[in-house]
Amino acid sequence: MHYGGRAKLPVSRGYTPYGYNRTATTESLLGFNAQLRDSFTGFYMLGNGYRALSCALQRFLSPDILSPFDRGGINTYAYCASDPVNRVDPSGRMSWLKALFQKSITFDDDYQVLFPGRKGVSSTTFHKEVFKTGNAGFVTHGHADGSPRLMNEHGNMVSARKVAMKEIAPRLKGLKSYRADPNKPIYLIACKSGASGAAQEVANALNRPVIGYRHNVLTPDDWFMNTQAENHPWLGLFELPPIPYVRRTATPITFNPVGRIRRKE
């Protein structure tokens, strides 16, 4: 919205997810995501002129020097990793989750219970560290039908991406170790998070590795979650494969965000 004319009346502007506005005029240079629009070409010159974004083409007009083997991603012309709804890219060099610009969530205890659970349903909890690994963990429920959905802080099954943005990302931002290391993984402890695609969606949303599991999992109580390694014979993490009455030590699987190639250390 901007103010136009002598009467200073508010004028509304509508944009597509990539910022295109068919009725755009030169009355105001302030455009999509509060970025300045070039009055002659209609492009957005992001990063103080580093790269031009064409909203009609939904892409940049020049490649990124941080691609394809750095944080820019494998698509050298992509804007916001092809996810402009959840990401912003004011510098033109690499996109960031919009959630990362939100207020961080901090707490003093070792873990925070987001949903206390109900009859037949255990709690949803964020842990600063699990299994003595130095990595945070999010314990929740996967969906029984195998779809990429997780239980949120209200006890509802929603998309894994929404859980990543609203429940996980602000709490990771509150941890110094995660602010300092974009490659630091997080555990997603939920039934079939690996098989359903939920772990991959969370990895894509957070733009960091996520450790998930392909089968149903049996977790220790919250207060035991960081007392032993995950392969401990009694207090570790177990999974239930399709074979009835058989449980075994859970096998963690790491899911890296799509579009990002991890370099060897």
Contact 138, 189 (CB under 8 A): yes
For residues 245 and 122, membership in a common domain is answered with yes
178 in any annotated domain? yes
The answer to whether residue 124 sits within a structural domain is: yes
Q: What is the pLDDT of residue 170?
A: 93
Paired tokens of 252: 């963690």
Q: What is the pLDDT of residue 66?
A: 60
Residue 40 forms part of a structural domain: yes
Phi and psi dihedrals of 170, rounded to 5?
A: -65, -30
Which residue range(s) make up the domain with 5?
Answer: 1-96
pLDDT at 263: 45
Q: Give whole-number Cα distances, 115 to 46, 125, 148, 169, 218, in Å.
A: 41, 7, 19, 17, 18
List the Cα angle 264/75/167 in 5-degree steps: 75
Token pair of 109 as six digits = 């205890």
CA–CA dist 99, 174 (Å, integer): 12
Supply the pLDDT for residue 2: 47
* 120 and 240 co-located in one domain: yes
Inside any domain, residue 56:
yes
* Phi, psi dihedrals of residue 198, rounded to the nearest 5°: -65, -40
Match 């892409």 to its residue by tokens. 59
**85-94: buried (b, 16+ CB within 10 Å) or exposed (e) per residue?**
ebbbbeebbb
According to the model, what pLDDT value does residue 141 have? 93
Are both 65 and 168 inside the same structural domain? no
Distance CA 41, CA 76 (A): 22
Q: How many domains does the chain have?
A: 2
**3-state DSSP call for residue 19?**
coil
Assess contact for 252 and 260: CB atoms under 8 A: no
Of the candidates 96, 131, 164, which is a domain's last residue?
Answer: 96
For residues 186 and 89, state if they share a domain: no
Question: What are the residue ranges in the chain where pLDDT is below 50?
Answer: 2-4, 99, 261-265
Question: Considering the domain boundaries, does residue 260 fall inside one?
Answer: no
Is residue 198 domain-shared with residue 121, that is, in the same domain? yes
Task: Kindly state whether residue 250 falls inside one of the protein's structural domains.
Answer: yes
263 inside domain = no
- Domain match, 120 and 208 both: yes
What φ, ψ does residue 73 adopt, rounded to 5°? Answer: 95, 170
Instruction: Say if residue 148 is preceded by a cis peptide, omega within 30 of 0.
Output: no
| Closest to 191 measured CA to CA, from 211, 212, 205 | 212
Distances from the Cα of 148 to the Cα of 16, 193, 223, 228, angstroms? 26, 7, 27, 29
Domain boundary among 96, 120, 148: 96
Q: Are residues 91 and 161 in the same domain?
A: no
Are residues 116 and 232 located together in one domain of the fold? yes
105 part of a folded domain: no
| Residue that finishes a domain, picked among 96, 129, 147 | 96
Residue with tokens 């943005």: 165
Tell me the whole-structure pTM to 2 decimals.
Answer: 0.62
Residues 121 and 210 in one domain: yes
